[in-house]
Structure 1
Amino acid sequence: MIDPESLGRRLHELRADRGLALTALARQAGVSTSMLSAIERGEKTPTVVVLSRIADGLGLSVSRLLADLETDRVIVRRAAEQDHVAEPGGWHRAVLTPVVPGVNFEWIRTTLPPGCDAGRFPAYAPGSHEFVAVESGELCLGVGEAQYVLTAGDSVYFPADVGHSYANRGEHPCVYSVAALIMRPRAA
């Protein structure tokens, strides 16, 4: 397991070695200054996506960024440690998975209120994959130009290298999980 305080110290050292101000790295990484500051203080554990952005901002791979920080091969992420995000439009998502060095995998549980459109997501890099399982309600999933209506118990796989969208056009909340392996091209 990676200790958040050790990760924070490592990020601070790497940023300082490069002579980067907190705001400069935040801008290069595409994350908020407050998020980066909380990670450096060991108060917040970043998601895989955020960690990948920070690594890119530092010109490193995620595995190089996390080198020598892993103390245990089993990583437990307690419910209280999960990132919960309230999105515009009233929908909510929770990132369930812990950060694992070198693995671009996330498992996200989302709740869409009735009539909510979560929007369209851009195509990810080739080799990216998404698996979606609907727990309750009705999910309208767009993959490229195709539309699929999924209900409780349904699941689907699609290569995530095309634009995709999620919406709940039903009268009840929709709860679904996304397991995503997202490939990201690395900056030189």
Structure 2
Amino acid sequence: MIDPADLGRRLYDLRAGRGLALTALAKAAGVSVSMLSAIERGEKTPTVVVLSRIADGLGLSLSRLLADLETDRVIVRRAAEQDHVAEPGGWHRTVLTPVVPGVNFEWIRTTLPPRCDAGTFPAYAPGSHEFVAVESGTLHLGVGAAEYVLEAGDSLYFPADVTHSYANRGDEPCGYHVAALVMRPRGARA
């Protein structure tokens, strides 16, 4: 398991060693200054996607960024430690997975209130995958130009290298899980 305080110190040391201001790294990584600051202070544990963006902003691979920080091969992430994010529009997501060096996998539980559109998400790098399983309600899942209507108990897989969207057009809340393997674009990194 990666200690948030150790991760924060490592990020700070890497950023400072490159002479980057907090705002400069936040811009290069595509994350908010407040998020980056909270991570550096050890107050927030970032998702794999956020860590990947920070690694890109530093010009490093994710495994290089996290080198020597993993202390245990078995990671238990208690409910109280999971990241709960209230999104604009009233929807809520919980990141269930811990950060594991070298693994670009996330498992997220999402709840969309009635008549909520979570928006369109950009295509990930080729080789990315998403698995969606609906727990309750009805989910309208856009994949590229197609739309799929999924009911409770339904599941769907799609290559996530296309734009995709999630919406609840019904009168009841919709709960679903997304398991995502998000590849990073290949590029020169240390």
Q: TM-score range by the shorter chain?
A: over 0.9
CA drift at 1:187: 4.2
Q: Which residue of 2 aligns with 1:124?
A: 124
Residue in structure 1 matched with residue 31 of structure 2 by the alignment: 31
* Post-superposition offset of 1:186: 4.1
Within 5 A, what are the aligned runs for 1:1-188?
Answer: 1-188=1-188
Report the alpha carbon displacement of residue 81 of structure 1 after superposing the two structures with TM.
1.5
**CA–CA distance in 2 between the matches of 1:187 and 1:3?**
28
> How far apart, CA to CA, are the structure 1 residues paired with 2:182 and 2:175?
22
Q: Give, in angstroms, the shift of residue 100 of structure 1.
A: 0.6
RMSD: 1.0
Deviation by residue 1:14-72 (Cα, 9 ceiling, x = unmatched): 11110111111111111111111111111111110110011011100010001011111
Cα distance between partner residues in 2 of 1:129 and 1:154 = 17
Structure 2, unmatched stretches of 5+, are none
Q: Count residues with an aligned counterpart.
A: 188
Q: Partner letter of residue 120 of structure 2?
A: R
1:90 deviates by 1.1
Kindly indicate whether the alpha-carbon contact (under 8 Å) linking 1:128 and 1:160 is maintained by their aligned counterparts in 2.
Answer: yes
Asked whether the equivalents of residues 61 and 186 of structure 1 are also in contact (C-alpha less than 8 Å), the reply is no
Q: Do the aligned residues in 2 keep the contact of 1:90 with 1:112 (CA within 8 Å)?
A: yes
Deviation at 1:175, TM superposition (A): 0.2
The one-letter code sitting in structure 1 at the alignment partner of 2:117 is D
Q: Whole-Å Cα distance in 2 between the matches of residues 101 and 174 of structure 1? A: 32
Q: TM-score, normalised by structure 2?
A: 0.96
Q: Distance in 2 between matches of 1:145 and 1:89?
A: 23
| TM-score (norm: length of structure 1) | 0.97
> Which stretches of structure 1, 4 residues or more, deviate above 4 A after TM superposition?
none
- Output the CA distance in 2 between the equivalents of 1:42 and 1:146: 41
1:19 aligns to what SS in structure 2? Answer: coil
User: Whole-Å Cα distance in 2 between the matches of residues 54 and 5 of structure 1?
Assistant: 16
Q: How many angstroms apart in 2 are the aligned matches of 1:35 and 1:165?
A: 24
Larger deviation: 71-80 or 173-182?
71-80
Amino acid of the structure 1 residue aligned with 2:91: W
* AA in 2 matched with 1:137: G
Partner SS, residue 133 of structure 2: strand
Question: Unaligned stretches of 5+ in structure 1?
Answer: none
Deviations along 1:143-171, one digit per CA (max 9) or x if unpaired, are 11211111111111111111111111111
Structure 2 CA distance for aligned equivalents of residues 102 and 112 of structure 1: 31
